[in-house]
Chains A and B, each alone.
Chain A
Amino acid sequence: MSVETSKQPGTAGTTSDELIRIEGVTKRFGDNTVLDGLGLTVQTGRHVTLIGPSGSGKTTILRLLMTLTKPDAGTITVDGQRLFPAPEKELREVRKQIGMVFQQFNLFPNMSVLRNITEAPVTVLGLPKEEAQARARELLDLVGLADKADARPTRLSGGQQQRVAIARALAMRPKVLLLDEVTSALDPELVAGVLDLLRDIARTTDITMLCVTHEMNFARDISDQVLMFDAGRVIEAGPPERIFGEPEHERTREFLGAVL
């Protein structure tokens, strides 16, 4: 099944700029088929949310795009560059355009908050240290942690760590931001702060976002397109109003009934 994530015809500001194309992608872990001939495309600047039950393959899509895992079949193209197979040099170029925020934050505990954010801009993009630090401080300001630049990540709360992780991903100025259940490991009272930050980023930047989440209100707020996953396939796709308002597929109705 193939899903286009362009807006409905007639919507203003639509570009036909295709950024991500996934075709016939299958991924198995042992006997378990996580993705089953999946196809989808994402246009530049779209905010796409992936919803569905656990184990339906949502996170695997993000991991494939970040080249953290390889597909067993099918092709993935990002900004015109095919990923599997591709020489390591090409993969690095593609990765530079993609940022990822993880469920478990994955900040580097051996570095200060500031260095977590400047490390890649300095060593990968070749930014002068001062410029990278200035950019990092701006981002820390954006995520509301300007006073934590010199702290160790382990001294921060989960919500603060996740906001640093978001700043770290944004410091690379990626075209695409992959958000993998970024609030699932947070204490309930910390979730709202992180989601508000992401709403801000979605509203104020033209960054393309692919977001795996169980926060349906958040999905409704930020998405142009919602993809409902089940058993390794997209079973339903559409604008959030329709998916949440009048889901067509029985599985979607069941799923939304259970989580909303």
Chain B
Amino acid sequence: MTWDWSAVREFMPHFWDGLWVTLEALALGSLISFSLGLVWTLLMRTPTRWVRWPVGVVTEFVRNTPLLVQLFFLFYVLPEWGLAFSALTTGVFAIGLHYSTYTMQVYRAGIEAVPAGQWEAATALSLPARRTWFAVVLPQAVRRVVPPLGNYVISMLKDTPVLMSITVLEMLGQARLFSQQHFQFTEPVTVIGVAFIVVSYLASLLLRTLERRLVR
């Protein structure tokens, strides 16, 4: 086995395309999982059982089935019912949905860590529920949820290659395509492996900075 720098050079344009798609999927997937997870958490705290029960069942189901199966379902089964989206849109949504069932647990723990006295003070001041949530409870929960949410971002990054299975050309998809066309596996796969390490490392640096600023 020999290392061929010219193969690396040839792969690079495809690599940049793939990296861009990976980062796009990661950013949008994070955004969806962060906001959808918060929606699940808030719905799970409504007094009505008829809201909590279906939300509980759906999120439990999504959390306990493989992301790959969900991708196949959304990309190959849903179109049969007339719901078809592009591969990337489907992939981003699937990752966001899947991880939202994890982030909801992070939010729940963060919210439960806010002392009861804070809720009581809000009641004593007659703050409306909305205001209690958005001005008092959630800002205090944020500093507790950032570290675990950051871990899920890294997990999500490592899960982006499954998007390849529904034809999304993220980094691994590009590497595989290149390998099949040039019969050179070593160089492209090594390049994207290194890229994953670099992206995770940069993301963790960013998160640590964010944590430090929040804990102040």
- Partner-B contacts on A (CB < 8 A): 66-68, 92, 95-96, 98-100, 102, 104, 106-111, 119-120, 123-124, 168-169, 172
The contact size tier of chain B is 10 to 19
Of B121, B123, B126, B128, the residue contacting A108 (CB under 8 A) is B121
A119-B135, A123-B128, A123-B131 known; A106+B121 contact, CB < 8 A: yes
A99 to B123, CA, bound (A): 10
Do A120 and B136 touch (CB < 8 A)?
Answer: no
B29 CB to closest chain A CB (Å) equals: 28
B105-128 contacts to A (CB < 8 Å): 115, 117-118, 120-121, 123-128
Of A98, A111, A119, A123, the residue contacting B124 (CB under 8 A) is A98
- Partner-A contacts on B (CB < 8 A): 115, 117-118, 120-121, 123-128, 131, 135-136, 139-140
Do B124 and A124 touch (CB < 8 A)?
Answer: no
Do B121 and A66 touch (CB < 8 A)?
Answer: no
A102-B117, A123-B131 known; A108+B124 contact, CB < 8 A: no
Chain A interface SS verdict (over half): loop
A172 to B118, CA, bound (A): 17
Of B118, B125, B128, B136, the residue contacting A168 (CB under 8 A) is B125
A109-B140, A110-B139, A119-B135 known; A104+B126 contact, CB < 8 A: no
Of A99, A104, A110, A123, the residue contacting B127 (CB under 8 A) is A123
A104 to B126, CA, bound (A): 19
A224 CB to closest chain B CB (Å) equals: 24
A124 to B128, CA, bound (A): 7
Which among B117, B124, B127, B135 has the greatest number of chain A C-beta atoms within 10 A?
Answer: B124
Do B135 and A95 touch (CB < 8 A)?
Answer: no
A119-B135, A123-B131 known; A106+B118 contact, CB < 8 A: yes
